[in-house]
Amino acid sequence: MDVKSLNRSLAVLLLALGLLAAACGGGEPAAEGGDGEPGGAEQEEQEEAEEEEEAFEPPDQVTVVVHTGPGGGGDILAREIVAMLEQEELISPGAWTVENREGGGSAVAVNYMREQAGRDDLIASSTNVWLVNELTTEGVDVGTLDLTPIVSVIDDNMMAAVVTDSPHETMEDFVDAALAAPGELIQVGGSLTATDALAGELIQDEVGAEWQFLSFASGGDRKTALLRGDADLFMTEPLDLSENVEAGEMRPIAVIGDEPVDLFPDVPTTNEIGYDFTYPVQTRGFVGPPEMSEGAVQHYTDIFQQLVESPTWDDFIERSAATAAFRPADEFTEYLQTQEEQHVELLGRLDMLVE
């Protein structure tokens, strides 16, 4: 046999052996690599997520939606956080802008977020009312869990306050006055399903009293109503209250729940006063529209995580008397599910649930 014939025979033999080996292997990928790495569909999903994250381009401009008017708790916090992010050079000055979409408790803001499905340049500052509105309001069919939870950042107390020269020295004084004159005293606050309104409803249910509720979207309008005598009681977060207390305009008379506030250590909790109810803590976080990309969720999570690890954030927590509560997306989602269960129980007690 000549050399050309020999080479041709060897090539045919090698090709046949290769085909035989492929046939024996069946062409199916292993379910798991030898080093324990996932394989098959799971590996493909992981690779797609990693590719999406790598492909994500952070937007130059980000809109932060809040459901309150200027001066409301959500508005104040969102603007504080944007300022801190700029101070820590985690975002460029002017890159994030706060947009007020008030109305319907939180319905206007939540519905807007739902309509913006898939956007990566839009986030919202959420609170408990984003959960509650769906449970208590006819025609509202969307809540926080229908959006994309990103992170929670703080858990906040709620406090009751009066004007400095109010005749009600304590929460018990206010309740006694309400019992003596049903329906005459007025509490000012946000929407009827907001945390402050629910706190007032719980106290009325507990003691058998009755008072009115005056609703304003703007936190500034709520304070004005109290200060000019249009209302007798105001409930809000310690950060929102501290400036007015320092100015000698307001006086806190109770912390709602069972956790005292370091900023006002002498103010009793409603549990210490003797009111027996469990009150879900006000949790503030950030959510995106439905179908926000995983890359965007991770991008915002990284930004917020860097913020909460900074001295600027520590200073903010100290002066606001809030509790730092950073929860990434998975933990935040589970927490929201638990909060929803707590609110269902609370609202059932108050006969406020809608079918």
CA distance 187 to 161: 10
Q: In the chain, how long is the greatest CA-to-CA distance?
A: 119
Contact 251, 260 (CB under 8 A): no
Which of 75, 157, 195 has the alpha carbon at shortest distance from 325? 157
CA dist 58 and 52 (Å) reads: 12
Spatial distance between the Cα atoms of 273 and 160, rounded to a whole number of angstroms:
13
Which pLDDT band, with edges at 50, 70 and 90, does 25 fall under?
very low
Q: Which residue, among 291, 294, 299, 286, has the nearest Cα to 59 in the 3D structure? A: 299
What the chain holds in terms of domains, given with CATH numbers, is: 62-155+281-349 (3.40.190.150), 158-273 (3.40.190.10)
pLDDT of res. 209: 96
d(CA 63, CA 123): 6
Q: How far apart are CA 156 and CA 316, in angstroms?
A: 13
Distances (CA, A) of 328 to 148, 151, 331: 12, 5, 6
Pair of tokens at residue 188: 């000012």
What does the DSSP 8-state code read for residue 58?
A: -
**Number of C-beta neighbours around residue 119 at 10 A:** 18
This model's pTM is above 0.85: no
Termini Cα distance of the chain:
91
Q: Which residues of 13-34 are buried (b: 16+ CB within 10 A; e: fewer)?
A: eeeeeeeeeeeeeeeeeeeeee
Looking at residue 240, its pLDDT comes to 84
Of the candidates 45, 85, 32, the one whose C-alpha atom is nearest the C-alpha of residue 316 is 85
Q: Is the pLDDT of residue 12 over 50?
A: no
Q: Cα–Cα distance between 133 and 139 in angstroms, integer?
A: 10
DSSP characters for 299-354?
HHHHHHHHHHTSHHHHHHHHHHT-EEEEE-HHHHHHHHHHHHHHHHHHHHHTT---
Cβ distance 287 to 144 under 8 Å?
yes
| Helices and strands per DSSP (H, E), number in the chain | 13, 11
Q: What is the DSSP letter of 137?
A: S
Task: Please give the pLDDT value at position 211.
Answer: 98
Q: At 28, is the secondary structure helix, strand, or coil?
A: coil
Q: How far apart are CA 140 and CA 49, in angstroms?
A: 33
pLDDT tens for each residue of 206-253: 999 999 999 987 788 999 999 999 999 999 988 888 889 999 999 999
pLDDT digits (tens, 9 = 90+) for 121-172: 999 999 998 998 889 888 888 999 999 999 999 998 899 999 999 999 999 9
At residue 14, the pLDDT reads: 42
Above 70 in pLDDT, residue 299? yes
Q: In what order do the strands lie in the sheet with 212-215?
A: 212-215, 186-189, 233-236, 158-163, 250-256
Closest CA to 214 of 196, 237, 238, 241: 196
What pLDDT does 53 receive?
Answer: 53
Polymer length in residues for the chain:
355
191 with 106: CB under 8 angstroms? Answer: yes
Which range is most confident: 28-37, 51-60, 80-89? Answer: 80-89
Q: Is the pLDDT of residue 35 over 60?
A: no
